[in-house]
């Protein structure tokens, strides 16, 4: 039997799902079938971008609302596993494009088209069923090592002139000549997408190494230069020292994935009342944050001011606290990206440790430590 791309299929105008021999037909529209390599390049390109699009759309929603998803995705190889999980969604998108538009970008640029055995555009359920068989028999559920074997097996079937197992007698992939421009566009898009995948894979590997090292690292000891008291800081935090507008040092603690930041600083009150310090801080942040509530409350036996609000141009949450200690105003500014519940425990633990360096913690019989 000839290789699949050297065969010519003749379609009959009579009903039936299987292409018939020339002697059985009066009208014989003929076309060649696509080669294994053309099918592989088109399928690979479409699976890449479709899966990436589904993963991006779903990931954006989940990282905003699901702390459990964020914890999982930040584990080593979390993104790779999420990509594999999104592959069926990409194949669902592929089936929708096949049924609605009649083709996908990868196939169209290479002059390929998927049709049923009687020459029509596949319906959504038909295309989806084929794609699910492709996911199992051709892509091996996206598992890298196994998929190489399954794709090679399907390629050998096509070279022997036998339909792919996920096509059977129901589907054909026809081909027609395309110009150099279309091939050039496809080659550029394929190479560009492949380069992006390599870059993202390198970033993911680096993040995985850093995450593993972070989880194994012991807590760091930070000493408050103003009081000489020390605090244990979890390995999830990175410390940077910067200078404020008044020249005073500010200690910025950033969560390793950037989902939370805690700014700890002090300034001389100069005889100002706590209310004036609170208003000054709120004014400095007014261009970025809108405070939904603010109030005065006792904190560890001292007067304090608390403010809470949201970023004006994004979903970030901000929490402020100013505490007067021995004529100095200590302030703690917490910024969290959604879902805030993902970093709430880390922020509470760090905030309590920082406050321990300026004012004694409450006795066990008192209320639990608050930010």
Domain CATH code at residue 257: 3.40.1000.10
- Look up residue 35 and give its DSSP letter: P
Q: Is residue 351 part of a domain?
A: yes
Which stretches of the chain are DSSP H helices? 36-65, 67-73, 78-101, 105-109, 124-133, 144-159, 180-216, 274-285, 341-356
Domain of 210 in residue numbering reads as 4-214
Q: Is residue 92 part of a domain?
A: yes
Residues lower than pLDDT 70 in the chain: 1-30, 269-271, 361-371
Residue 41, token pair as written in the block: 């390049």
pLDDT of residue 361: 67
Q: Is residue 241 part of a domain?
A: yes
pLDDT of residue 173: 95
Q: Is residue 365 part of a domain?
A: no
User: What pLDDT, in 10s, does the model give residues 79-108?
Assistant: 889 999 999 999 999 999 999 999 999 999
**Residue 70 and residue 26 share a domain:** yes
Q: Is residue 367 part of a domain?
A: no
Give me the DSSP letters along 223-269: E-TTT--EEEE-TTEEEEEEE-TTS-EEEEEEETTSSEEEEEEEEE-
| Distant-in-sequence, close-in-space partners of 320: CB < 8 Å, separation ≥ 6 | 281, 282, 285, 291, 294, 305, 306, 307, 308, 331, 332, 333, 334
Q: Is residue 362 part of a domain?
A: no
**Residue 240 and residue 176 share a domain:** no
Task: Please say whether the beta carbons of 41 and 190 come within 8 A.
Answer: yes
User: What pLDDT, in 10s, does the model give residues 317-333?
Assistant: 999 999 988 888 899 99
Task: Please say whether the beta carbons of 161 and 3 come within 8 A.
Answer: yes
**Residue 276 and residue 323 share a domain:** yes
Q: Which of 214, 244, 277 is the last residue of a domain?
A: 214
pLDDT of residue 9: 54
pLDDT of residue 23: 45
pLDDT of residue 1: 56
**Residue 346 and residue 312 share a domain:** yes
**Residue 344 and residue 231 share a domain:** yes
**Residue 201 and residue 223 share a domain:** no
Q: Which of 214, 229, 264 is the last residue of a domain?
A: 214
**Residue 48 and residue 187 share a domain:** yes
Q: Which of 156, 181, 214 is the last residue of a domain?
A: 214
Q: Is residue 330 part of a domain?
A: yes
pLDDT of residue 278: 87
Q: How many domains is the chain built from?
A: 2
**Residue 131 and residue 53 share a domain:** yes
Task: For residue 266, give Cα distances in angstroms to 48, 68, 168, 288, 312.
Answer: 51, 35, 73, 21, 26
**Residue 141 and residue 187 share a domain:** yes
**Residue 41 and residue 127 share a domain:** yes
Enclosing H/E stretch for 116: strand 112-116
**Residue 60 and residue 16 share a domain:** yes
pTM, 2 dp = 0.78
Task: Please say whether the beta carbons of 34 and 175 come within 8 A.
Answer: yes
**Residue 210 and residue 239 share a domain:** no
Q: Is residue 154 part of a domain?
A: yes
């Amino acid at each position: 039997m000839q290789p699949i791309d050297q065969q010519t299929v003749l379609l009959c105008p009579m009903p039936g799902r299987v292409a018939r021999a020339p002697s059985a037909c009066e009208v014989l529209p003929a076309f060649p079938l696509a080669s294994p390599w053309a099918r592989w390049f088109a399928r690979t390109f479409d699976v890449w971008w479709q899966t990436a699009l589904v993963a991006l759309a779903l990931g954006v929603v989940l990282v905003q609302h699901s702390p459990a998803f964020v914890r999982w995705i930040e584990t080593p190889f979390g993104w790779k596993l999420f990509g594999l999980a999104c592959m069926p969604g990409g194949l669902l998108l592929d089936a929708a494009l096949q049924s609605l538009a009649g083709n996908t970008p990868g196939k169209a640029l290479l002059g390929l088209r998927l049709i049923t055995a009687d020459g029509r555009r596949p319906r959504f359920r038909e295309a989806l069923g084929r794609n699910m068989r492709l996911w199992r028999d051709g892509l091996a559920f996206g598992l890298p090592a196994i998929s190489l074997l399954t794709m090679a097996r399907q390629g050998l079937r096509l070279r022997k002139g036998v339909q792919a197992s996920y096509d059977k007698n129901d589907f054909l992939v026809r081909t027609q000549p395309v110009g150099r421009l279309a091939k050039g566009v496809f080659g550029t898009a394929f190479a560009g997408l492949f380069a992006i995948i390599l870059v993202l894979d390198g970033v993911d590997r680096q993040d995985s190494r850093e995450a593993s090292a972070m989880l194994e690292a012991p807590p760091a000891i930070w000493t408050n230069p103003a009081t000489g008291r020390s605090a244990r800081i979890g390995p999830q935090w990175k410390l940077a020292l910067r200078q404020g507008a008044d020249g005073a040092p500010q200690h910025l603690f950033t969560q390793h994935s950037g989902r939370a930041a805690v700014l700890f600083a002090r300034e001389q009150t100069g005889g100002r009342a706590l209310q004036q310090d609170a208003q000054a801080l709120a004014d400095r942040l007014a261009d970025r944050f809108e405070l939904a509530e603010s109030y005065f409350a006792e904190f560890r036996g001292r007067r304090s001011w608390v403010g809470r609000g949201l970023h004006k141009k994004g979903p970030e949450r901000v929490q402020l606290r100013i505490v007067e200690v021995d004529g100095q105003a200590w302030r703690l500014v917490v910024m969290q990206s959604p879902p805030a519940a993902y970093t709430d425990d880390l922020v509470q633990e760090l905030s309590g440790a920082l406050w321990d360096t300026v004012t004694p913690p409450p006795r066990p019989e008192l209320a639990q430590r608050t930010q």
